[in-house]
Amino acid sequence: MKETRVRYAPSPTGDPHVGNIRSAIFNWLFARNQKGKFILRIEDTDQARMVDDGIQKQKDALNWMGLNWDEVYIQSERIEIYTKYAEKLIDEDKAYRCFATQQELDDLRNKQKAAGKITRYDGRYRNYDLDLSQKRSKEDPFVIRFKSPQEGITKCYDEIRGEITFNNKELDDFIIMKSDGFPTYHFANVVDDHLMNISHVMRAEEWLPSLPKHVNIYKSLDWEMPLFVHLPMILASDKTKLSKRHGATSIQEFINEGYIKPAMFNFLVLLGWALDDKTEQFTIEELINVFNIKKISKSPAIFNKQKLDWFNGKYIRELKSDEIAKELDLFFKNSINIKNYNIIKKYNFVDIANMIKERSKTLKDSLMLSEFIYNIPSFKSKEEVYAMCDDIDQCSYILKSTIDCLNKIDDFNIETVQFELKNLMEELNLKPKNLLGTLRIVITNQKISPPVFDCISILGKKESVNRISSALDFI
Ligand code: GLU
């Protein structure tokens, strides 16, 4: 049997969109399931749309997702190959040079528009003399166009949709090589899928209208076709195409918002694929075992942000604390300034993970819950400090007693801290508001923070006592 070889073929024109990464995930899972190869092909032939770091951004997104590739190709390094095949097509009268100037094409367009016709190239160089064309090519700029069939139909086959036919009257003589010498997407894509022995082309549904062009190129070169699998569209909850106005759309934005890999992976794989009508949570290993093209759906997938949040919170709760600790470390490093990161780094990320696990949907929530670690409280007035006490004397007394109480704890952890502080509260006959409310102020002074016992145990004895002492000195 033929080896399974699939590819992810991004154009490096910006931050990878979640839809692209969904395609990458499907291809990667299929390759791994079939013990085949996953190929990364950078389609950078549209030089005008390239962005700096575009290639690196794609690689970073794949790496973050854990989608390792077996081979990598960059189309801009393969121009000679496409040129060779385009010339072969010219020699065989299956493609031709077109010397129409931009002005000519604009005029044509305007005329067609004015006459209420569909605007498209009219084939004016289709039958141009080959010798003349050869000669002129030395002096004049030109593009190479594909001689599309003008009659009949083009039959295409998609693994999910079955046979799809296109009327050849609708096809135009599209460009395969541009005047800058670069191939167009359609041409380079087909040549490479062939030369790279791609067995399955799995890509977004938006490419389906291009399929007859591709099929005709395969036929003209007498090449066997791969199997085509067009993945369903991704729509936002309002059933329109997922776009910027719905919020984050690039993987990087989701990373910045604190989504973690297993949740993102699990969520994205369910956009257009399902094992059955009940199983929702999968590890990546499980997905490799069960992933199957037959289960890809035809109908659009809805990008349900609430579900992503739910997955993310669930994974944060369920992953081992040391795994979450690693995620937190990386996220904090990238999200806060170096001074604050250096402070937080001194604390144990596993303890922080335990503290945030039940309370965060995203790592951004976790960061908010952890801000008390580096935002050391400072006060403008004494009233702020004793706001939860009957008066300032009660406040000083509480703070002094707490310092003594904490100092006496040998094995300093959340249980012992909680136990001793509750004892203290009983002994001194204090209301929770008096003791815990006041401690919350002097330890965190944050609107959002975890319960004060957690904060004290994370900060440890020394830092907690320091904060309480500073407040005591202040009043
Ligand atoms: N370069 C195209 C893209 O960015 C690839 C489409 C395909 O997989 O054929 O989507």
Q: What is the pLDDT of residues 390-432, one digit of tens each?
A: 999 999 999 999 999 999 999 999 999 999 999 999 999 999 9
Q: How far is the CA of 277 from the centre of ligand 1 (A)?
A: 30
Q: Whose CA is nearest to atom 10 of ligand 1?
A: 10
Residues of the chain with pLDDT under 70: none
Q: How far is the CA of 40 from the centre of ligand 1 (A)?
A: 11
In this predicted structure, what is the pLDDT of residue 474?
A: 94
**183 vs 46: CA distance, rounded Å:** 8
Q: How far is the CA of 11 from the centre of ligand 1 (A)?
A: 7
Output the CA–CA distances (angstroms, integers) from residue 31 to 49, 62, 191, 203, in the order listed.
Answer: 30, 15, 21, 14
In this predicted structure, what is the pLDDT of residue 243?
A: 85
Query: Atom of ligand 1 at shortest distance to CA of 203?
Result: 8
In this predicted structure, what is the pLDDT of residue 47?
A: 84
Note the pTM of the prediction, 2 decimals: 0.92
Q: How far is the CA of 373 from the centre of ligand 1 (A)?
A: 45
Angle between helices 211-221 and 79-91 (to 10 degrees): 70
Cβ–Cβ < 8 Å for 190, 181: no
Query: Atom of ligand 1 at shortest distance to CA of 193?
Result: 9
**Among 41, 185, 202, which residue has the most ligand 1 atoms within 8 Å of its CB, making it the best to mutate?**
185
Q: Whose CA is nearest to atom 3 of ligand 1?
A: 10
Q: Is 64 exposed, middle or buried (0-12, 13-18, 19+ CB in 10 A)?
A: middle
Query: Atom of ligand 1 at shortest distance to CA of 202?
Result: 8
3-state secondary structure of 123: coil
**Among 207, 211, 225, 230, which residue has the most ligand 1 atoms within 8 Å of its CB, making it the best to mutate?**
207
Eight-state DSSP code of residue 235 = E
DSSP string, 350-403: HHHHHHHTTT-SSHHHHHHHHHHHHS----S-HHHHHTTSSSHHHHHHHHHHHH
Count CA atoms within 13 Å of residue 144 on its CB side.
26
Q: How far is the CA of 366 from the centre of ligand 1 (A)?
A: 36
**Among 11, 21, 196, which residue has the most ligand 1 atoms within 8 Å of its CB, making it the best to mutate?**
11
In this predicted structure, what is the pLDDT of residue 246?
A: 87
Q: How far is the CA of 261 from the centre of ligand 1 (A)?
A: 23
DSSP string, 283-294: -HHHHHHH--GG
Which of 40, 33, 29, 142 is closest to 90 using CA atoms? 142
Residues in contact with ligand 1 by the CB-under-6-Å rule are 9-11, 43, 185, 189, 203, 207
**23 vs 7: CA distance, rounded Å:** 9
Residue 302's beta-bridge partner residues?
Answer: 235
In this predicted structure, what is the pLDDT of residue 236?
A: 94
Strand-pair category, 301-303 with 234-236? parallel
Cβ–Cβ < 8 Å for 461, 412: yes
Query: Atom of ligand 1 at shortest distance to CA of 8?
Result: 8
Query: Atom of ligand 1 at shortest distance to CA of 189?
Result: 9
Concerning whether 244 is annotated as a catalytic residue, the answer is yes
Cβ-Cβ contacts under 8 Å for 102 (sequence gap 6 or more):
none
Cβ-Cβ contacts under 8 Å for 219 (sequence gap 6 or more):
none
**Among 26, 62, 189, which residue has the most ligand 1 atoms within 8 Å of its CB, making it the best to mutate?**
189
Q: How far is the CA of 290 from the centre of ligand 1 (A)?
A: 25
Cβ–Cβ < 8 Å for 441, 388: yes
Which among 244, 305, 320, 433 is annotated as catalytic?
244
Query: Atom of ligand 1 at shortest distance to CA of 43?
Result: 1
